[in-house]
Structure 1
Amino acid sequence: MCKHILNAQVAIRAPCCKQWFDCAECHVESAQNSETPHQIKQTMEMVFACKKCKKVFRKDMETFEEADEFCPHCDNHFVLEAVEPKARLEVEGEDVRKDSRMLKDDRVKAKEQMSIWDDEGEAARLG
Structure 2
Amino acid sequence: MKIQVLGSTVDNETRCTHYHSEKDIIAIKFYCCKEYYPCYQCHLEHAKHSIDVWPKSEFHQKAILCGKCKKELTINEYRESNANCPSCLSNFNPRCQLHSHLYFEE
Q: Please point out which of 13, 20, 24 is paired with 1:6.
A: 20
TM-score by length of 1: 0.51
- Kindly indicate which of the two structures has a greater share of residues assigned to helix: 2
Aligned residues: 75
One-letter code aligned to 2:52: K
Q: Please point out which of 16, 30, 39 is paired with 2:50.
A: 39
8 Å Cα contact 1:59-1:68 kept in structure 2: no
Q: Which residue of 1 aligns with 2:32?
A: 16
Q: Which runs of 4+ in 1 moved over 4 A?
A: none
TM-score by length of 2: 0.59
Gaps of 5+ in 1: 32-36, 83-127
Which is greater in Rg?
Answer: 1
Residue correspondence of structure 1 range 71-86 to structure 2 within 5 A: 71-81=85-95
Q: CA deviation at 1:77?
A: 1.6
Relative contact order: is structure 1 or structure 2 higher (C-alpha 8 Å, sep ≥ 6)?
Answer: 2
1:55–1:20 CA distance, 2 compared to 1 (3 A): same
Q: Which residue of 2 aligns with 1:50?
A: 66
